[in-house]
Amino acid sequence: MNQQITFLSDGGDTVRELQLYLNPQAEHLLDWFHVSMHLTVMNQMAKGLGPEESESRAGTLKRLESIKWYLWHGNVFKALQRIEHLEMDLEEETVTGESAEKLRKALQEFQTYIENNQRWIPNYGELWRAGERISTAVVESAVGQVLSKRFVKKQQMSWSRRGAHLLLQVRTRVLNEEFREKFEEWYPGFNTQSEDQARAA
């Protein structure tokens, strides 16, 4: 009960509220995997800017790298400044096209995301050098592989969305040691029948 716990989350309110409820004294960190994922997507958008905007593309990629560097070192103030500067640059340069519009929108959403989660952004570089966990990338990847494989229709035992949801409900009950109690609630006579069969054998 006294063990120090560190929670990593994607920054969503519902997940964090649950974590705070379970252990208010725990350390709460924004998962670097999700921060990095946002930046990777924006990098791809920046690379999609047209050839006539090569100068803007190079400047945008450099700014994004700078934002990533500041966030990696826990300097949220500087990172938010760089985000604002990049937003202004994109507006002033009047970069047009679908990729540019998507990038502007993604940048605004990312700014809100960082502002809402800034109190849970540590110095990732320092924690990483100390051998601390800063990301759930390995777990996310494993879960993603299992789910994507199971949802393939050609798979011998493929899952439907409803089936996957029900399976996760059962697994959660088992982990919380509530499954037997719930099962007996659903099937009141099951336990009695099992005992009668055991005595008869």
Q: What ranges do the domains of the chain cover?
A: 6-129, 160-200
Q: What is the pLDDT of residues 64-114, one digit of tens each?
A: 999 999 999 999 999 999 999 998 888 776 666 677 788 889 999 999 999
Secondary element (H or E) of residue 30: strand 27-30
- pLDDT tens-digit profile, the chain (201 residues): 667 777 778 887 777 777 777 777 778 889 998 899 999 999 998 888 766 666 778 888 999 999 999 999 999 999 999 999 998 888 776 666 677 788 889 999 999 999 999 988 999 999 999 988 888 765 555 455 555 666 665 555 666 777 767 777 777 777 777 878 877 887 777 665 555 555 555
Residues 6+ away with beta carbon under 8 Å from 191 = 184
Q: What is the phi-psi region of residue 127: left when phi exceeds 0, alpha when psi lies from -120 to 50, beta otherwise?
A: alpha
Q: Which of 69, 130, 61, 112 is nearest to 90 (CA)?
A: 61
What does the block give as tokens for 80? 């938010």
Asked whether the whole model's pTM tops 0.85, one would answer no
Our CA dihedral for 110, 116, 119, 121, rounded to 10 degrees, sits at -20
